[in-house]
Amino acid sequence: MQVFEIFRSIQGETSRAGLPMWFVRLAGCDLACTYCDTPAARDPAAGREVSVADVAVAVSASALPWVAITGGEPLLQAAEVNALVAALAAQGRGVLVETSGAHPIDVLDPRAVRIVDVKTPGSGMADRMHWRNLDLVAERDEVKFVLTGREDYEWARGLVSRRRLAARTTVLFGSAAPCLEPRTLAEWILADALPVRLNFQVHKMLGLR
């Protein structure tokens, strides 16, 4: 598989924020979001070829119970990702797979927790969203919105309501720096009593990657 980097850090987002875990960042992404915070990982050539077995060995160097597979876009390497999920599950690890939402998530090994981005108008990539993914998410999965401002917020609020997402899965609202302050987003969520979780990037507060 084409790997950009493997590292340990504190999970900064999702309902598992604050947990220490391994991160396997894969190289290659076919989107170009306006707020992308890892643009270097978009180029497949930026990575190095590493076997699934070697990745599994690398993350066994420390007995952290969770591994996050991110990118880039992991689903561009779906076969390899599924092989890694199987290997990690055999080790007794929990696995998160963070995906842009632009590719069908039903190809993933069901043992993975799927963290699905929903591309907002402010991302510049809303037309690339694979909308059936919102019908496929289960209770154990999570849906993430990265919001650039009030227009994105209102768009996301309407989508969550129409698709009854909060009744089926965990919904995360996060702010795209520097476009939107987290406190402002928190105030909007409180004012509307939205059944969503503020997705605050704890790792960035700590100066971690």
Reported as a single tens digit per residue, the pLDDT across 51-78 is 999 999 999 988 899 999 999 999 999 9
- Residues 188 and 76: their CA atoms lie apart, in Å, by 35
Does residue 200 register a pLDDT over 90? no
For the domain that residue 11 is a member of, what is the CATH number? Answer: 3.20.20.70
pLDDT confidence of residue 147: 98
pLDDT confidence of residue 131: 97
Q: What are phi and psi of 183, to 5 degrees?
A: -65, -40
Q: What are phi and psi of 64, to 5 degrees?
A: -75, 135
Q: What are phi and psi of 117, to 5 degrees?
A: -70, 145
Residues for the chain: how many in total?
209
The domain containing residue 161 runs over which residues? 2-205
Does residue 203 register a pLDDT over 80? no
- Residues 8 and 1: their CA atoms lie apart, in Å, by 19
DSSP letter assigned to residue 120: -
Does residue 204 register a pLDDT over 80? no
- Residues 172 and 161: their CA atoms lie apart, in Å, by 14
Tell me the average pLDDT across 31-39. 94
Strands 142-147 vs 113-118: parallel, antiparallel or unpaired: parallel
Does residue 190 register a pLDDT over 90? yes
Higher local confidence (pLDDT), 63 or 142: 142
Averaged confidence pLDDT in the chain: 96
Q: What are phi and psi of 97, to 5 degrees?
A: -120, 115
Total number of domains in the chain = 1
Q: Which residues contact 79 (CB under 8 A, 6 or more apart)?
A: none
